[in-house]
């Protein structure tokens, strides 16, 4: 009984288990405290807390507005630890054969773990691909979500589920940008 529970907690979940579980966070956070599910607001709260520099966008009571969300994100960090370290799945991700072949062609050959080890490590930051993926990529995530007023959780899940036109436009943007990066930029950067 306990062994099978541990086994379940350590194995990858299929989309039809994981997806509905993720969707439940929208009503759960509303019910727990009338909070809209959205993670990227935390980047704004952190900026407001660390270096508001008199900018309008960061001048608000971030403690009052954002404390719950910062706690939520601290929980995400702990949840990642619990799932990847305590209940670690020793197997590599069951990527499709085609995905493996495509990534190998881009010199991403080690498919173990959650992210390519060749790039997601400190020394790689000094290489062009490591710098672009981790540093530039991070800037674009922060700038883009702030500009669009939300990320995957706020727009693609909450906003679309609430049938907001703004979120539909944003999600179209997410995919346009992702396809551009995947099909045009990454092949030139990695191959």
Partner 1 sequence: MRFLLAGLVFGFVLTRAEVISWFRIQEMFRFQSFHMYGVIASALVVAGVALEIIKRRRVRALDGTPIQLAPKEVGRGYRYIIGGAIFGVGWAFTGACPGPLFALLGSGLAVMIVPIASALAGTWLYGYLRPWLPH
Instruction: Report whether 29 contacts 35 (CB < 8 A).
Output: yes
Binding mask 40-79 for partner 1 (x = CB under 8 A): x-xxx-xx--xx-x-xxxx---------xx-xxxxxxxxx
CA angle, corner 105, sides to 103 and 106, nearest 5?
65
Taking the least distance from each CB to partner 1, the nearer of 1 and 94 is 94
* Count of residues interacting with partner 1 (CB under 8 A): 126
Residue whose C-alpha is closest to residue 41's, from 71, 77, 78, 18: 71
Asked if 20 interacts with partner 1 (CB under 8 A), we say yes
Q: How far is the CB of 34 from partner 1 (least distance, A)?
A: 4
Q: How far is the CB of 1 from partner 1 (least distance, A)?
A: 20
**Cα 157 to Cα 15: distance, rounded to the nearest angstrom:** 15
Using H for helix, E for strand and C for coil, what is the string for 58-102? HCCCHHHHHHHHHHHHHHHHHHHHHHHHHCCCCCCCCCCHHHHHH
Q: Which of 6, 105, 128, 179 forms a contact with partner 1 (CB under 8 A)? A: 179
Instruction: Report whether 68 contacts 33 (CB < 8 A).
Output: yes
Interface with partner 1 in residues 112-131 (CB under 8 A)? 114-116, 120-122, 124-125
Asked if 174 interacts with partner 1 (CB under 8 A), we say yes
Asked if 25 interacts with partner 1 (CB under 8 A), we say yes
Taking the least distance from each CB to partner 1, the nearer of 1 and 15 is 15
Asked if 105 interacts with partner 1 (CB under 8 A), we say no
Instruction: Report whether 10 contacts 88 (CB < 8 A).
Output: yes
The backbone region for 129, taken as left when phi is positive above 0, alpha when psi lies in -120 to 50, beta otherwise, is: alpha
Q: Which of 3, 34, 126, 188 forms a contact with partner 1 (CB under 8 A)? A: 34
Q: How far is the CB of 190 from partner 1 (least distance, A)?
A: 10
Asked if 4 interacts with partner 1 (CB under 8 A), we say no
Asked if 90 interacts with partner 1 (CB under 8 A), we say no
Angle between helices 62-81 and 41-50 (to 10 degrees): 120
Asked if 187 interacts with partner 1 (CB under 8 A), we say no
């Amino acid at each position: 009984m306990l062994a099978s529970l541990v086994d379940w907690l350590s194995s990858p979940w299929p989309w039809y288990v994981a997806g509905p579980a993720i969707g439940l966070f929208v009503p759960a956070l509303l019910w727990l405290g009338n909070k809209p599910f959205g993670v990227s607001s935390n980047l704004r709260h952190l900026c407001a807390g660390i270096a508001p520099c008199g900018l309008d966008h960061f001048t608000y009571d971030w403690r009052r507005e954002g404390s719950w969300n910062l706690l939520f994100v601290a929980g995400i960090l702990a949840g990642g630890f619990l799932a990847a370290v305590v209940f670690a799945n020793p197997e590599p991700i069951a990527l499709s054969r085609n995905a493996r072949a495509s990534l190998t062609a881009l010199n991403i050959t080690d498919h173990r773990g959650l992210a390519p080890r060749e790039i997601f490590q400190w020394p790689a930051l000094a290489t062009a691909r490591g710098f672009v993926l981790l540093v530039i990529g991070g800037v674009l995530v922060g700038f883009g979500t702030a500009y669009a007023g939300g990320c995957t959780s706020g727009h693609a899940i909450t906003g679309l589920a609430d049938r907001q036109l703004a979120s539909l436009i944003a999600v179209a943007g997410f995919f346009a940008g992702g396809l551009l990066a995947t099909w045009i930029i990454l092949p030139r950067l990695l191959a």
